[in-house]
Amino acid sequence: MATVPCRASLLMLLMLVHPCCCAAPAADERRLLIQIKRAWGDPSTLAAWDGSADHCTWPYVTCVAPSGPVTSLSLASTNVDGPFPDAIGALSGLTSLDISNNGVTGAFPTSVYRCASLRYLDLSHNYLGGELPADMGGALGENLTSLVLNGNHFNGTIPTSLSRLRNLHSLALDNNHLAGTIPAELGDLTGLQTLTLLNNLFSVGELPASFKNLTKLKKFWAANCNLTGDFPSYVAEMPELEALDLSGNALTGSIPPGIWNLPKLQKVDLSANNLAGEVVATDGAFGAANLVTIDLSLNHRLRGLIPEGLGHLPNLETLNLSGNQLFGRIPRSIAKLGLLTQLDLSRNQLVGEIPA
């Protein structure tokens, strides 16, 4: 049996005979980054990617160790444009990729499927288009926690395979040209904290009942999504909710009183729907003391008195109840809102003076 010194000597001999065996991975990563830069036409923002230094010291690049595999590319707002470079998919250790707010074109880049460790993918605010691949949920892998595709030109339907991304915390699909109905399968993503669907071209339909399972949501934006049917009562059972925007739809029914008791809620925008009934149908108390913005304007059928409890929200900055059927006097408590900067109660049936 070889002794320890002999084994150490043998290892040193192998390194002398094959000096590239340990350097090759670093050289490969450096070569791939140079390919990426050239694919984008050698932009000035990537001038430091010149091959003369350790690639882990280059701007926008993060490695797990000096001269090691690239784990993160943070290229947001770097003025890169053109097709997505396939070489990015060869960075096998990549866990985070942010190319947001650039001029990247083409279809959804399936080359990222090869990045099996990818957890964060942000391609937002580019010029990507076409249909999202039907298999993308399975192909992206279960490690993914954030999929941010908003502000592009994607069309077609939302792939139901996204429901396979069981570790997903953030899904941003807003401001595209997506059509069809919102798939009920998204309700399987029970770990979601952010879901933004607003400003797409969805067919007329209701929010899926399966969304009642999304109890960890902090941000839920589905404005201008052609939504109909009664206001979803399950929203009042989302205890982590901080921001809710369902404006610009055709939702009917009443506002569930439980919404006003969500402890972390800061923003509510339900404007431009067909909601009816009273703003709050209980004793007027508001347990959501962190509310900063309330916009219930242009529902036309909200009626009753303005709740006294609105004046006991110490952080309220914006209150818009215009374009409804509210009547009576403005509560004196409104005058005590020291942070209030925007107040619109116009186009109602109110009487009396504005409290001072």
Backbone angles phi, psi at 83, to 5 degrees: -60, 155
DSSP track, 11-61: HHHHHHH-TTTTTHHHHHHHHHHHHHHHHTT--GGGTT--SSS-GGGSTTE
Q: Which two tokens stand for residue 121?
A: 């993918």
List pLDDT tens digits, range 95-132: 999 999 999 999 999 999 999 999 999 999 999 999 99
pLDDT for residue 22 is more than 70? no
* C-alpha torsion angle, residues 258, 260, 265, 271 (rounded to 10): 110
pTM: 0.91
Tell me how far apart the alpha carbons of residues 197 and 248 are, in angstroms, rounded to a whole number.
Answer: 13
Cβ pair 283, 266 in contact under 8 A: no
**What is the predicted pLDDT for the residue at 27?**
86
Report the DSSP pairing between strands 61-63 and 70-74.
antiparallel
Q: Which two tokens stand for residue 141?
A: 């892998």
Q: From the centroid of its chain, how far is CA 326?
A: 35
Tell me how far apart the alpha carbons of residues 20 and 94 are, in angstroms, rounded to a whole number.
Answer: 23
Per-residue pLDDT band for 348 (boundaries 50, 70, 90) equals very high
List pLDDT tens digits, range 201-228: 999 999 999 999 999 999 999 999 999 9
Report the top-level CATH class of 228-356: alpha beta
Tell me how far apart the alpha carbons of residues 310 and 312 are, in angstroms, rounded to a whole number.
Answer: 5
Cβ pair 213, 237 in contact under 8 A: no
Over residues 3-26, the mean pLDDT reads 42
Q: Is 249 helix (H, G, I), strand (E, B) or coil?
A: coil
**What is the predicted pLDDT for the residue at 283?**
59
Give the residue among 348, 355, 253, 246 at the shortest CA–CA distance from 304: 348
Q: Which two tokens stand for residue 186?
A: 């998204």
Burial letters 120-153, b for 16+ CB under 10 A, else e: bbbbbbbebbeebbeebbbebbeebbbbbbbbbe
Tell me how far apart the alpha carbons of residues 329 and 305 are, in angstroms, rounded to a whole number.
Answer: 8
Please report, for residues 55, 68, 112, 115, the alpha-carbon distance to residue 28 in angstroms, rounded to integers and kept in the order given.
10, 10, 17, 15
Backbone angles phi, psi at 3, to 5 degrees: -80, 165
Q: Which amino acid is at 296?
A: L
pLDDT for residue 6 is more than 70? no
Burial letters 14-25, b for 16+ CB under 10 A, else e: eeeeeeeeeeee
List pLDDT tens digits, range 266-308: 999 999 999 999 998 555 678 899 999 999 999 999 999 999 9
Cβ pair 136, 112 in contact under 8 A: no
**What is the predicted pLDDT for the residue at 177?**
99
